[in-house]
């Protein structure tokens, strides 16, 4: 149907009006202070507080202060409040809302009733806790009862545990334990329970409250573990409980045994070093007993551990415990040496050599003494065992020529130059040292892993076919539809008809893609409002309660980041989060990245035990400083960002890990806001993401952003608009319908166990034997694929208010390289996961999201490019009439402007990021970018696509300017 010029004019005017409205609304929103927004969001809270305390002033400052403490502390006399008519009226209204169909309303009601805290409110919450089916809402009610802190609620909270999901039980148990010693009576009366929920509660309480009763319970659980398990197993088989299957019991009991043994080995180790424990047939009990032995630095205990050095199944535990005891008492080293010399058992010799390798520098220095023969034998054995990372580290800083000659002789005698160990020494050792070794030890240049598009014939063929089809599909359709006209109509008329038709195709394509954006925009607006309400309900007492939020390992790969590494590390060490560690992974940097970290944080090399769950390039060393207990620096051979992340996952000790670029800064509450989303969902959340914004132009001091300013560089400014549009409209919108497939590599949160199960980030060293330049999106796609294939309910979430600030390219060459990589990564992911395309098995992901990326993100730039050529041709041929021009202007320009302006409005709705002056500039850029910059960025994606086909695999480097410090 062809629209008339008048209709098109009306549409254009309407779009102009919408753009004007959005501009005005965003500008007026700037005049609404953050205090007004905060007060509006907390209006109900302020009203309730004023009823509870006549002295309370509903100011922004008082509200913010109350968000940082347990909100019910201001109440002096609850009995008097019980009879207050206005308060009774409010409580009655909120009690009714506990039965509301909306989960958010039920959560809001529970928070306010927990604040009121009267007996009526408490009883209503207790009834709601038993009846509530949604676990996320249930945990809010449980938190409200914990805040009221009346011990009378304990029996109800225990009852509410029964038959619940593990996710809820862990948090609800933490709430019950918050009552402290008031739970002791219930603990003593439940010592013989068989329900897994109550056993978990008992063990958790005994692990935090130390008395004779709890100690006896823990030892009894270990001593009669098999009998207890069998009784519970029979109990569940007989009971045939639908909410909990007997088949789950074995794994849960193992976890409880590990938890119990850890408490015994840490706090009751003198009683746990009994022979029956370290000789136990149960590996969990035996391993923890070894750790108990290491806690008491007695010679007899050291000898017991030495006795088990030949036991292959305990090799890792024995290595770790012996190392720990030697650290505490270096005199044990001599006893270890004697045993090493005397033993003939190869397994024991290997285990002891692993322990001795941690003291390699000590033995190297002993080569200069008279009694050097033992040191030489130990070093030779360590070299033969393959533990040469420590040796290489010493070689590269050593300046003693005599020692260097001795080491060169040992390496030449005991290592073959073409062996794996020999190749590692030839690759990473100093050339001066290699020149002293046997002539076969010629230097090998260490590989520097720069992301390249590896030539994959099948991928290249697929991309070539896709590109060819996108070029010929429309001409082919035109030829078929006009086949009778060929030969009878002048070629110029056919060309004119084709150009006009393609202009309409471009217009309709633009309408289609912008309608998708507008739909996502509406979903995003709804999602932001929902998330803002939920974040507003969470106070600090809730978020910082033990195990309420998951523990997190922040992993920051760093390659040649000397300009920004200290600022970003300081920033990440000052995050507001209850339980996290920071792992900086120096990925073979060739600049001063590692040295700057060592000097700034006074780091020393340490012996650090970890599991090599994922295969990575060798780890050279791990550095720590007790003054910064959260910080762990990993130095490894270069392997690329994905390989560095995998190495960090191996070393990480927390439940989730957060992948972040080392040149980025997190806002202090960013991690808290992101992880708090896990409290709002009753199903697994294997991945979460946050916003990424350009830090270019911002003032940074001591790892903190002191002033947010838009970049001075024009390219970086356009990227600011682009980032806001992508995150605020795109990703928030997809998340609203549980179809999110992209989490930025600069700021993502993932469940560690799930990532290990799927093989970590794609690298040549891992199971898929493949690298990818789009590791962030690919990882999310692989998680979604796995969860759909095992039919496990899940949600991938995105936080609108969790912000990460990162440096963006400021020169054309760097920006083009980045876009080439992004598009290559998209094409690679679509090809690698092509099975998901249009596959009903993968739900909305397979039927909607993957096809969207194929049609609009992969093929789309080719369609746009052809369309722009046809517009130019139409202008040259003089056939670009008013109707086509209006249609193209409305569909490609005006709709694009509306999407960008709406994104800015959503971004500034709850938080004012930019000054008024900067906001005006961004509003102007949101309009200007549609007249050239967006088309230019799109063209670069086509170049990236052609590079895939024609084998130009070097994607270049991004120049780093560094953060602007005060």
Q: Which residue has the higher pLDDT, 759 or 957?
A: 759
* % pLDDT > 70, the chain: 89
pLDDT tier at 414, thresholds 50, 70, 90? confident
Query: 210-232: b or e for each residue (b if 16 or more CB lie within 10 Å)?
Result: eeeebbebbbebbeebeebbeeb
DSSP β-bridge partners for residue 965: 700
Mean pLDDT in the chain? 84
Identify the pLDDT of residue 55: 52
Identify the pLDDT of residue 806: 87
pLDDT tier at 70, thresholds 50, 70, 90? very low
Check: CB of residue 856 under 8 Å from CB of residue 517. no
Question: pLDDT for 870-900, tens place per residue?
Answer: 888 888 878 877 888 888 888 888 888 998 8
pLDDT for residue 57 is more than 70: no
- The structure tokens 């330049």 sit at 773
Identify the pLDDT of residue 68: 47
Question: pLDDT for 219-242, tens place per residue?
Answer: 999 999 999 999 988 888 776 554
Identify the pLDDT of residue 346: 86
pLDDT for residue 171 is more than 60: yes
What span, in angstroms and rounded, lies between the C-alpha atoms of 392 and 433?
Answer: 10
As a whole number, mean pLDDT of residues 187-195 equals: 85
pTM for the full predicted model: 0.84
Half-sphere exposure of 862 (CA within 13 A, CB side): 20
> Which of 74-88, 122-136, 144-158, 631-645 is predicted least confidently?
74-88
Question: pLDDT for 531-590, tens place per residue?
Answer: 988 888 887 778 888 889 999 999 999 988 888 888 888 888 888 899 999 999 999 888
pLDDT tier at 869, thresholds 50, 70, 90? confident
Q: Which residue has the higher pLDDT, 952 or 320?
A: 320
Q: What is the DSSP string of 863-899?
A: HHHHHHHHHHHHHHHT---HHHHHHHIIIIIIHHHHH
pLDDT for residue 409 is more than 50: yes
Identify the pLDDT of residue 661: 80
As a whole number, mean pLDDT of residues 508-534 equals: 88
Identify the pLDDT of residue 456: 80
Identify the pLDDT of residue 47: 58
pLDDT tier at 959, thresholds 50, 70, 90? low
pLDDT tier at 65, thresholds 50, 70, 90? very low
Query: Quick one: how many helices (H) and strands (E) in the chain?
Result: 48, 13
- DSSP letter at 127 equals H
What span, in angstroms and rounded, lies between the C-alpha atoms of 115 and 680?
Answer: 20
Going by C-alpha positions, the residue among 830, 858, 822 that lies closest to residue 470 is: 858
Provide CB contacts within 8 A for 908, sequence distance 6+. 26, 29, 30, 914, 919
Question: pLDDT for 724-737, tens place per residue?
Answer: 888 888 888 999 99
pLDDT tier at 664, thresholds 50, 70, 90? confident
pLDDT for residue 35 is more than 60: no
pLDDT for residue 962 is more than 50: yes
As a whole number, mean pLDDT of residues 324-352 equals: 88
Torsion of CA 358, 361, 365, 370, to 10 degrees: 20
């Amino acid at each position: 149907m062809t629209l008339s010029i008048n209709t098109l004019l009306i549409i254009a005017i309407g779009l102009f009006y919408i753009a004007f409205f959005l501009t005005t609304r965003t500008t007026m929103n700037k005049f609404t202070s953050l205090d007004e927004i905060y007060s509006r969001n907390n209006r109900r809270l302020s009203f309730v507080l004023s009823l509870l305390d006549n002295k309370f002033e509903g100011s922004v400052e008082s509200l913010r202060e109350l968000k940082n403490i347990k909100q019910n502390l201001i109440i002096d006399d609850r009995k008097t409040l019980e009879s207050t008519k206005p308060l009774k009226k409010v409580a009655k209204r909120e009690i009714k809302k506990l039965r509301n169909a909306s989960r958010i309303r039920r959560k809001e009601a529970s928070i306010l009733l927990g604040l009121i805290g009267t007996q009526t409110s408490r009883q209503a919450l207790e009834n709601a806790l038993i009846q509530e089916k949604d676990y996320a809402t249930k945990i809010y009610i449980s938190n409200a009862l914990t805040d009221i802190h009346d011990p009378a609620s304990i029996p109800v909270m225990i009852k509410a545990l029964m038959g619940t999901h593990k996710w809820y039980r862990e948090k609800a148990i933490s709430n019950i334990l918050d009552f402290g010693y008031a739970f002791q009576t219930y603990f003593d009366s439940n010592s013989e329970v068989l329900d897994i929920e109550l056993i978990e509660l008992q063990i958790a309480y005994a692990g935090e409250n130390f008395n004779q009763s709890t100690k006896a319970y823990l030892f009894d659980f270990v001593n009669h573990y098999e009998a207890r398990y069998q009784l519970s197993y029979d109990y569940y088989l007989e009971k045939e409980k639908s909410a909990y299957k007997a088949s789950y019991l074995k794994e849960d009991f193992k976890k409880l045994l590990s938890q119990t043994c850890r408490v015994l080995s840490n706090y009751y180790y003198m009683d746990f070093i009994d022979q029956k424990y370290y000789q136990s047939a149960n590996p969990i009990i035996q391993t923890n007993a070894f750790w108990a032995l290491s806690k008491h630095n007695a010679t007899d205990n050291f000898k017991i551990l030495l006795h088990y050095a030949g036991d292959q199944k305990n090799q890792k535990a024995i290595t770790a415990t012996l190392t720990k005891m030697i650290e505490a008492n270096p005199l044990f080293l001599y006893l270890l040496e004697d045993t090493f010399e005397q033993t003939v058992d190869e397994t024991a010799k290997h285990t002891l050599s692993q322990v001795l390798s941690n003291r390699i520098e000590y033995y190297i220095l002993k080569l200069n003494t008279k009694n050097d023969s033992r040191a030489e034998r130990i070093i030779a054995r360590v070299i033969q065992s393959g533990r040469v990372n420590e040796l290489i580290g010493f070689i590269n800083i050593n300046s003693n020529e005599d020692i260097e000659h001795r080491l060169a002789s040992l390496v030449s005698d005991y290592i073959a130059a073409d062996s794996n160990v020999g190749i590692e020494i030839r690759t990473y050792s100093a050339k001066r040292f290699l020149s002293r070794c046997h002539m076969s030890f010629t230097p090998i240049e260490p590989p520097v892993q720069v992301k390249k598009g590896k030539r994959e014939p099948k991928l290249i063929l697929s991309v070539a076919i896709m590109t060819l089809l996108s070029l010929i599909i429309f001409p082919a359709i035109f030829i078929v539809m006009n086949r009778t006209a060929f030969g009878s109509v002048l070629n110029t008329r056919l060309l004119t008809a084709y150009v006009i038709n393609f202009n309409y195709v471009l217009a309709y394509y633009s309408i289609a893609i912008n309608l998708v954006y507008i739909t996502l925009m509406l979903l995003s607006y709804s999602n932001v409002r929902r998330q803002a309400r939920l974040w507003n309900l969470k106070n600090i007492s809730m978020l910082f309660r033990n195990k309420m939020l998951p523990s997190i390992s922040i992993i920051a790969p760093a390659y040649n980041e000397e300009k920004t590494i200290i600022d970003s590390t300081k920033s990440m060490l000052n995050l507001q989060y209850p339980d996290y560690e920071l792992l900086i992974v120096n990925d073979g940097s060739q600049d001063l990245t590692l040295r700057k970290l060592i000097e700034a944080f006074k780091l020393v090399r340490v012996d650090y035990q970890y599991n090599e769950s994922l295969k990575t390039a060798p780890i050279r060393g791990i550095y720590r400083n007790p003054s910064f207990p959260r910080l762990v620096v990993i130095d490894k051979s270069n392997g690329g960002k994905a390989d560095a992340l995998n190495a960090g996952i191996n070393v990480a000790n927390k439940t989730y890990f957060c992948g972040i670029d080392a040149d980025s800064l997190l806002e202090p509450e960013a991690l808290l806001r992101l992880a708090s989303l896990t409290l709002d969902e009753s199903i697994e959340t294997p991945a979460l993401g946050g916003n990424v914004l350009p830090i270019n132009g911002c003032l940074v001091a001591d790892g903190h952003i002191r002033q947010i300013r838009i970049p001075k560089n024009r390219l970086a400014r356009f990227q600011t608009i682009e980032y806001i549009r992508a995150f605020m409209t795109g990703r928030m919108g997809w998340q609203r319908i549980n179809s999110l497939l992209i989490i930025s590599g600069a700021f993502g949160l993932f469940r560690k166990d799930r990532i290990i199960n799927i093989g970590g980030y794609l690298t040549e060293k891992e199971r898929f034997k493949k690298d990818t330049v789009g590791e962030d999106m690919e990882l999310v796609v692989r998680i979604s694929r796995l969860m759909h294939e095992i039919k496990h309910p899940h949600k991938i979430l995105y936080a609108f208010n969790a912000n990460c600030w990162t440096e963006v390219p400021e020169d054309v060459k760097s920006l083009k390289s980045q876009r080439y990589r992004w598009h290559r990564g998209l094409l690679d992911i679509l090809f690698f996961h092509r099975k998901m395309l249009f596959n009903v098995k993968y739900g909305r992901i397979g039927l909607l999201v993957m096809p969207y990326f194929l049609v609009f993100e992969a093929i789309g730039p080719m369609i746009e490019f052809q369309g722009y050529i046809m517009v130019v041709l139409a202008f040259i041929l003089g056939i670009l009439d008013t109707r086509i021009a209006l249609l193209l202007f409305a569909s490609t320009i005006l709709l694009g402007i509306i999407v960008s302006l709406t994104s800015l409005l959503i971004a500034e709705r709850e938080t004012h990021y930019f000054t008024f002056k900067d906001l005006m500039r961004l509003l102007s850029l949101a309009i200007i970018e549609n007249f050239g910059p967006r088309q230019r960025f799109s063209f670069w994606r086509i170049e990236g696509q052609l590079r895939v086909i024609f084998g130009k695999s070097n994607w270049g480097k991004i120049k780093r300017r560094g953060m602007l410090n005060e």
